[in-house]
Amino acid sequence: MLHSTLTDVQIRPERADHPEVIALLVALDSSLAALYPPEANHLLSVAELLAPEVALFAAWQGDRVVGTGATRRMPGNARSGGRLYGEVKRMFVDPAVRGQGIAVRLVQTLEAGLRAQQIRLATLETGRDQPEAVHLFQRSGYRQRGAFGGYPDNGLSLFFEKYL
Protein backbone atom coordinates (compact mmCIF):
# COMPACT_ATOMS: atom_id res chain seq x y z
CA MET A 1 0.00 0.00 0.00
CA LEU A 2 1.22 3.48 -0.83
CA HIS A 3 1.27 5.92 2.05
CA SER A 4 0.81 9.62 1.54
CA THR A 5 -0.55 12.70 3.13
CA LEU A 6 -3.06 14.99 1.54
CA THR A 7 -0.39 17.66 1.27
CA ASP A 8 1.59 15.58 -1.21
CA VAL A 9 -1.44 15.05 -3.44
CA GLN A 10 -2.03 17.87 -5.92
CA ILE A 11 -5.34 18.17 -7.77
CA ARG A 12 -5.19 20.05 -11.04
CA PRO A 13 -6.85 20.16 -14.46
CA GLU A 14 -5.48 17.53 -16.81
CA ARG A 15 -6.08 16.27 -20.32
CA ALA A 16 -7.94 13.00 -20.58
CA ASP A 17 -5.40 11.70 -23.09
CA HIS A 18 -2.47 12.02 -20.67
CA PRO A 19 -0.98 8.49 -20.29
CA GLU A 20 -1.31 8.56 -16.48
CA VAL A 21 -4.98 9.57 -16.73
CA ILE A 22 -5.66 6.90 -19.34
CA ALA A 23 -4.13 4.25 -17.05
CA LEU A 24 -6.48 5.20 -14.23
CA LEU A 25 -9.50 5.36 -16.55
CA VAL A 26 -8.68 1.82 -17.73
CA ALA A 27 -8.58 0.70 -14.09
CA LEU A 28 -11.98 2.32 -13.51
CA ASP A 29 -13.41 0.68 -16.63
CA SER A 30 -12.15 -2.73 -15.47
CA SER A 31 -13.65 -2.22 -12.03
CA LEU A 32 -17.04 -1.27 -13.47
CA ALA A 33 -16.97 -4.12 -16.01
CA ALA A 34 -16.62 -6.56 -13.12
CA LEU A 35 -19.76 -5.13 -11.46
CA TYR A 36 -22.17 -4.38 -14.29
CA PRO A 37 -23.09 -5.51 -17.82
CA PRO A 38 -21.70 -3.28 -20.61
CA GLU A 39 -25.06 -1.59 -21.28
CA ALA A 40 -25.20 -0.43 -17.64
CA ASN A 41 -21.82 1.33 -17.76
CA HIS A 42 -22.35 4.93 -18.86
CA LEU A 43 -18.76 5.95 -19.45
CA LEU A 44 -17.39 8.92 -21.31
CA SER A 45 -14.56 7.90 -23.62
CA VAL A 46 -11.23 9.71 -23.68
CA ALA A 47 -12.39 11.54 -26.82
CA GLU A 48 -15.63 12.60 -25.09
CA LEU A 49 -13.64 13.74 -22.05
CA LEU A 50 -11.65 16.09 -24.34
CA ALA A 51 -14.81 17.98 -25.36
CA PRO A 52 -14.95 21.68 -24.44
CA GLU A 53 -17.91 21.18 -22.10
CA VAL A 54 -15.91 18.72 -19.96
CA ALA A 55 -13.47 19.68 -17.20
CA LEU A 56 -11.29 16.80 -16.03
CA PHE A 57 -9.15 16.94 -12.90
CA ALA A 58 -6.44 14.56 -11.79
CA ALA A 59 -5.08 13.96 -8.33
CA TRP A 60 -1.32 13.67 -8.67
CA GLN A 61 0.99 12.08 -6.14
CA GLY A 62 4.44 12.81 -7.44
CA ASP A 63 4.52 11.65 -11.06
CA ARG A 64 1.53 9.33 -10.70
CA VAL A 65 -2.19 10.01 -11.12
CA VAL A 66 -4.04 8.49 -8.16
CA GLY A 67 -7.50 9.92 -8.79
CA THR A 68 -9.71 11.44 -11.47
CA GLY A 69 -12.99 13.28 -11.67
CA ALA A 70 -14.72 15.30 -14.34
CA THR A 71 -17.73 17.51 -14.83
CA ARG A 72 -19.72 17.98 -17.99
CA ARG A 73 -21.84 21.09 -18.59
CA MET A 74 -25.31 19.99 -19.58
CA PRO A 75 -28.12 21.98 -21.22
CA GLY A 76 -30.97 23.06 -19.01
CA ASN A 77 -34.12 21.03 -18.55
CA ALA A 78 -37.35 21.27 -16.54
CA ARG A 79 -35.70 19.91 -13.37
CA SER A 80 -32.93 22.53 -13.52
CA GLY A 81 -35.37 25.37 -14.26
CA GLY A 82 -33.97 25.62 -17.76
CA ARG A 83 -30.53 26.49 -16.39
CA LEU A 84 -27.32 24.69 -17.25
CA TYR A 85 -26.34 21.96 -14.83
CA GLY A 86 -23.20 19.94 -14.29
CA GLU A 87 -22.83 16.19 -14.32
CA VAL A 88 -20.06 14.52 -12.31
CA LYS A 89 -18.32 11.82 -14.34
CA ARG A 90 -15.33 9.46 -14.12
CA MET A 91 -14.74 9.73 -10.35
CA PHE A 92 -12.15 7.18 -9.29
CA VAL A 93 -9.37 6.90 -6.74
CA ASP A 94 -6.69 4.23 -6.96
CA PRO A 95 -7.60 1.57 -4.37
CA ALA A 96 -4.01 1.69 -3.04
CA VAL A 97 -4.52 5.25 -1.73
CA ARG A 98 -8.17 5.22 -0.71
CA GLY A 99 -9.20 6.41 2.73
CA GLN A 100 -7.00 9.50 2.66
CA GLY A 101 -9.60 12.07 1.64
CA ILE A 102 -8.57 12.29 -2.01
CA ALA A 103 -12.09 11.61 -3.30
CA VAL A 104 -13.55 14.28 -1.01
CA ARG A 105 -11.01 16.79 -2.34
CA LEU A 106 -11.83 15.79 -5.92
CA VAL A 107 -15.57 16.33 -5.31
CA GLN A 108 -14.86 19.73 -3.74
CA THR A 109 -12.68 20.68 -6.72
CA LEU A 110 -15.36 19.63 -9.20
CA GLU A 111 -18.02 21.58 -7.34
CA ALA A 112 -15.81 24.68 -7.19
CA GLY A 113 -15.31 24.41 -10.95
CA LEU A 114 -19.05 24.28 -11.52
CA ARG A 115 -19.64 27.26 -9.24
CA ALA A 116 -16.98 29.22 -11.16
CA GLN A 117 -19.05 28.58 -14.31
CA GLN A 118 -22.19 29.85 -12.51
CA ILE A 119 -23.62 26.32 -12.50
CA ARG A 120 -25.63 25.67 -9.35
CA LEU A 121 -26.86 22.10 -9.82
CA ALA A 122 -24.55 19.07 -9.82
CA THR A 123 -25.94 15.68 -10.81
CA LEU A 124 -24.48 12.22 -11.11
CA GLU A 125 -25.21 8.59 -11.85
CA THR A 126 -23.44 5.84 -9.96
CA GLY A 127 -23.99 2.14 -9.50
CA ARG A 128 -25.97 0.59 -6.68
CA ASP A 129 -23.15 -1.93 -6.17
CA GLN A 130 -20.61 0.78 -5.35
CA PRO A 131 -21.35 1.50 -1.68
CA GLU A 132 -18.17 3.54 -1.21
CA ALA A 133 -19.17 5.90 -4.02
CA VAL A 134 -22.74 6.18 -2.74
CA HIS A 135 -21.45 6.95 0.76
CA LEU A 136 -18.97 9.54 -0.56
CA PHE A 137 -21.65 11.46 -2.42
CA GLN A 138 -24.17 11.26 0.42
CA ARG A 139 -21.53 12.53 2.87
CA SER A 140 -20.80 15.33 0.40
CA GLY A 141 -24.44 16.49 0.51
CA TYR A 142 -25.87 14.79 -2.56
CA ARG A 143 -29.47 13.62 -2.37
CA GLN A 144 -30.99 10.76 -4.31
CA ARG A 145 -33.21 11.76 -7.22
CA GLY A 146 -34.85 10.17 -10.25
CA ALA A 147 -33.15 9.29 -13.51
CA PHE A 148 -32.07 12.24 -15.65
CA GLY A 149 -30.35 13.07 -18.91
CA GLY A 150 -31.55 10.01 -20.80
CA TYR A 151 -30.18 7.45 -18.36
CA PRO A 152 -32.36 4.35 -18.09
CA ASP A 153 -33.90 3.59 -14.72
CA ASN A 154 -32.54 0.04 -14.89
CA GLY A 155 -32.37 -0.83 -11.20
CA LEU A 156 -28.56 -0.85 -11.33
CA SER A 157 -28.06 2.92 -11.34
CA LEU A 158 -28.61 5.41 -8.55
CA PHE A 159 -29.03 9.10 -9.32
CA PHE A 160 -28.02 12.02 -7.13
CA GLU A 161 -28.05 15.81 -7.16
CA LYS A 162 -26.75 18.67 -5.10
CA TYR A 163 -27.59 22.36 -5.29
CA LEU A 164 -24.35 24.28 -5.02
Domain at 135, CATH number: 3.40.630.30
Whether 30 is in a domain gets the answer yes
pLDDT at 56 over 90: yes
Using alpha carbons only, give the angle 159, 51, 63 rounded to the nearest 5 degrees: 90
Residues 6+ apart with CB under 8 A from 57: 11, 12, 13, 14, 68, 69, 70, 106, 109, 110, 113
Instruction: Give the closest residue to 85 by CA, choosing from 145, 19, 154, 152.
Output: 145
Look at residue 121 and tell me if it is in a domain.
yes
Domain-embedded: residue 145: yes
pLDDT value at position 83? Answer: 81
Q: What is the DSSP letter of 47?
A: H
Provide the residue range defining the domain that includes 152: 6-163
Residue 92 belongs to some domain of the structure: yes
Does 1 reside within a domain? no
Rounded average pLDDT over 149-162: 92
Provide the domain count of the chain.
1
pLDDT at res. 2: 45
pLDDT at residue 74, as a whole number: 93
**Res. 95: pLDDT tops 90:** yes
Residues 126 and 156 sit within 8 Å (Cβ to Cβ): no
Stretch 85-105: mean pLDDT, rounded?
96
User: What is d(CA 66, CA 149) in angstroms, rounded to the nearest whole number?
Assistant: 29
